Amino acid sequence: MTTRIKTDICVIGGGSGGLSVASGAVQMGARVVLIEGGAMGGDCLNHGCVPSKALLAAGKAAHAQRSGAAFGVAPVRPQVDFAAAKDHVARTIATIAPHDSVERFEGLGVQVLQGYGRFISKTEVQVNDTIVTARRFVVATGSSPMVPPIDGLDHVPYLTNESIFDLRECPGHLLIIGGGPIGMEMAQAHARLGARVTVVEGASALGRDDPEAAAVVLAHLRDEGVEIIENAQVQAVRGRTGAVEVEVAGGTVFIGTHLLVAVGRKPNLERLNLEAAGVETTRAGVRVDAGLRSSNRHVYAIGDVAGQGQFTHLAGYHAGVVIRSAVLGLPARTRSDHIPSVTYTDPELAQIGLTEADARSKFGAQVQVVRAEMAGNDRAQAEGKTDGFIKVMVVRSRPVGVTIVGAQAGELMAPWALAIANGLKMSAMAGTVLPYPTLAEIGKRAAGAFFSPKLFDNAVLGRFVRAVQRFLP
Ligand X SMILES: Cc1cc2nc3c(=O)[nH]c(=O)nc-3n(C[C@H](O)[C@H](O)[C@H](O)COP(=O)(O)OP(=O)(O)OC[C@H]3O[C@@H](n4cnc5c(N)ncnc54)[C@H](O)[C@@H]3O)c2cc1C
Ligand Y SMILES: NC(=O)c1ccc[n+]([C@@H]2O[C@H](COP(=O)([O-])OP(=O)(O)OC[C@H]3O[C@@H](n4cnc5c(N)ncnc54)[C@H](O)[C@@H]3O)[C@@H](O)[C@H]2O)c1
* Residue with Cβ nearer ligand X (412 or 426): 412
Nearest CA-CA partner of 192 in 364, 61, 99: 61
**272 sits near ligand X (criterion: CB under 6 A):** yes
Q: Give the number of other Cβ atoms within 10 Å of residue 159's Cβ.
A: 22
Q: How far is the CB of 202 from ligand X (least distance, A)?
A: 19
**116 sits near ligand X (criterion: CB under 6 A):** yes
When CB distances are held under 5 to 8 angstroms depending on the partner's kind, the choice from ligand X, ligand Y, none that residue 141 binds is ligand X
**161 sits near ligand X (criterion: CB under 6 A):** yes
CA–CA separation, 138 and 148 (whole Å) = 29
Nearest CA-CA partner of 155 in 245, 91, 252: 245
387 is an annotated ligand-binding site residue: no
Sign of the four-CA dihedral 220, 179, 55, 104: positive
When CB distances are held under 5 to 8 angstroms depending on the partner's kind, the choice from ligand X, ligand Y, none that residue 303 binds is ligand X
CA–CA separation, 159 and 174 (whole Å) = 10
* Residue with Cβ nearer ligand Y (170 or 228): 228
**439 sits near ligand X (criterion: CB under 6 A):** no
Question: How far is CA 85 from each of CA 49, 234, 266, 297, rounded to the nearest angstrom?
Answer: 16, 31, 29, 47
Nearest CA-CA partner of 161 in 194, 140, 183: 183
**348 sits near ligand X (criterion: CB under 6 A):** no
Binding mask 126-155 for ligand X (x = CB under 6 A): --------------xxx-------------
When CB distances are held under 5 to 8 angstroms depending on the partner's kind, the choice from ligand Y, ligand X, none that residue 400 binds is none
* Residue with Cβ nearer ligand X (303 or 447): 303
Torsion of CA 117, 121, 124, 128, to 10 degrees: -40
Q: How far is the CB of 451 from ligand Y (least distance, A)?
A: 32
- Cβ 310 vs Cβ 339: under 8 Å: no
Q: How far is the CB of 35 from ligand Y (least distance, A)?
A: 24
Q: Which residues contact ligand Y by CB under 6 A? A: 148, 150, 177-183, 185, 200-203, 207, 233-234, 262-265, 310-311, 341-344
- Cβ 173 vs Cβ 315: under 8 Å: no
**48 sits near ligand X (criterion: CB under 6 A):** yes
- Cβ 58 vs Cβ 189: under 8 Å: yes
- Cβ 29 vs Cβ 12: under 8 Å: no
* Residue with Cβ nearer ligand X (54 or 394): 54
CA–CA separation, 55 and 171 (whole Å) = 14
With contacts defined by CB under 6 A, name the span among 16-24, 276-284, 320-328, 398-406 that binds ligand X.
16-24
* Residue with Cβ nearer ligand X (44 or 232): 44
Binder among 38, 59, 307, 401 for ligand X (CB under 6 A): 38
- Cβ 47 vs Cβ 161: under 8 Å: yes
Q: How far is the CB of 386 from ligand Y (least distance, A)?
A: 23
Nearest CA-CA partner of 346 in 102, 142, 107, 59: 59
When CB distances are held under 5 to 8 angstroms depending on the partner's kind, the choice from ligand Y, ligand X, none that residue 17 binds is ligand X
Binding mask 296-315 for ligand X (x = CB under 6 A): -------xxx----xxxx-x
Nearest CA-CA partner of 39 in 100, 82, 86: 100
- 196 three-state secondary structure: strand
Question: Total binding residues for ligand X by CB under 6 A?
Answer: 37
37 is an annotated ligand-binding site residue: no
180 is an annotated ligand-binding site residue: yes
CA–CA separation, 206 and 433 (whole Å) = 34
247 is an annotated ligand-binding site residue: no
How does DSSP assign 199-236, residue by residue?
EE-SS-TTTTS-HHHHHHHHHHHHHTT-EEE-S--EEE
- Cβ 326 vs Cβ 136: under 8 Å: yes
**24 sits near ligand X (criterion: CB under 6 A):** no
Q: How far is the CB of 184 from ligand X (least distance, A)?
A: 11
**What is the contact surface with ligand X in residues (CB under 6 A)?**
12-18, 35-38, 42-44, 47-49, 52, 116-117, 140-142, 161, 182, 268, 271-272, 303-305, 310-313, 315, 344
Binding site: residue ranges? 53, 117, 141-143, 178-185, 201, 264, 304
Binding site for FAD: residue ranges? 53, 117, 141-143, 304
